[in-house]
Structure 1
Amino acid sequence: MEAVAKLNNYPTSPRKMRLLADMIRGMEVEKALAQLEHNPKHPAVPLRKLVVSAISNWKQKNEGGDESTLIVKTIFVDGARTIKRMRPAPQGRGYRVRKRSNHVTVIVDTK
C-alpha cells in the first residue's frame, strides 16, 4: 500500500530540485534520509521533511507494518508558478528576472 506526500510552490528552480530527486529515486528510505541530511544543497532540507511526511502517511495507512522495507518508489518535480520581476539594466532598459518555484511529489511503498 503506497503513500503520497506533496510539497507545493517551493521557491527554488525545478532544475535544482530535480538533482536531489534523481539522487534518491528508488533508494531505501533510511538511505535517502541519510543522503539528504548530509547534502549541502539548500533544497535538501524541505525534501527530507517531505520524505519523513510520506513515511508518516504510510504508517497511518498501514498500522503495524514494517517500515524498514520502504523505498522511494516514485518522486517527481514539476514546475510551479513563476514570479516575474524587472531588474535595472544599462541605458534605461530592464531585464526580466524569473523567480521559479516547483511542486514535488513523493510516493513511498514496500519493496
Structure 2
Amino acid sequence: MGARKKISADKRKEALKTKYFAKLNNVPTSPRKMRLVADMVRGMEVFKALGVLKFSSKEASARLEKLLRSAIANWEQKNERKAESGELYISEIYVDSAAMLKRLRPAPQGRGYRIRKRSNHVTLFVDTMSKNDNQI
C-alpha cells in the first residue's frame, strides 16, 4: 500500500472510532427487499424502530432487528452505560449489493435461463439525539 493511500485509510479508521455502527454482510436476501425494510426505520428512535421491526411481516425485518440490537450494544459498550428511551436514533442505514450466485434453470428447446440469487450488505449507524441537536 502506498503512503498516500495508507494515510487516507488511517483517517477513515479514526473517523469510524467516533461512530457507533453494526454491519451485516452477505445476507441472502435481495437488496431491493431489504431496502423496503430499511426505509421504514431510517431516522427513527431506536426503541420505536425495534417495535416496528418486531411486528413487521417482512422476512428481512428479523435480520434488521438483530442488527439494530447489535448497534445499540456497540454504543453501550463504547459509552459504558445503558441506552435510555429517546436518546438514540438511527442516523444512517444503507443496503449495498453483495456477491450474486448465478444458476441456470432449464428452459424450452435446450436453452437455459439464468437465475441470479442476490445477497446484500447492511450497515447501520446509531447516534445520540443531543449530539444531533447541538449541530443544528
TM-score range, shorter chain: over 0.9
Provide TM-score, normalisation by structure 1. 0.96
Provide TM-score, normalisation by structure 2. 0.79
Report the AA paired with residue 12 of structure 1: T
Aligned equivalents of 1:29, 1:76: Cα separation in 2: 16
Unaligned runs of 5+ in 2: 1-17, 130-136
Find out whether 1:95 has 2:90 as its counterpart.
no
> Deviation at 1:34?
0.3
Greater share of helix: 2
> Deviation at 1:67?
3.1
User: Share of identical aligned residues, percent?
Assistant: 62
Find out whether 1:76 has 2:94 as its counterpart.
yes
Structure 2 match to 1:23:
40
Q: State the aligned residue count.
A: 111
Structure 1 match to 2:24:
7
Which structure has more relative contact order (CA 8 Å, sep 6+)? It is: 1
Alignment root-mean-square deviation, CA: 1.1
Greater share of strand: 1
Aligned equivalents of 2:76, 2:93: Cα separation in 1: 19
Aligned equivalents of 1:48, 1:57: Cα separation in 2: 14
| CA deviation map 1:53-108 (0-9, x unaligned) | 00000000011354321000100000000000000001110000000000000000
- Kindly report structure 1 stretches of 4+ aligned residues shifted beyond 3 Å: none
Q: Does the 8 Å contact 1:2/1:110 carry over to 2?
A: no
Bigger Rg, which one: 2
| CA deviation map 1:14-48 (0-9, x unaligned) | 00000010110000001100000000110111100
Unaligned runs of 5+ in 1: none
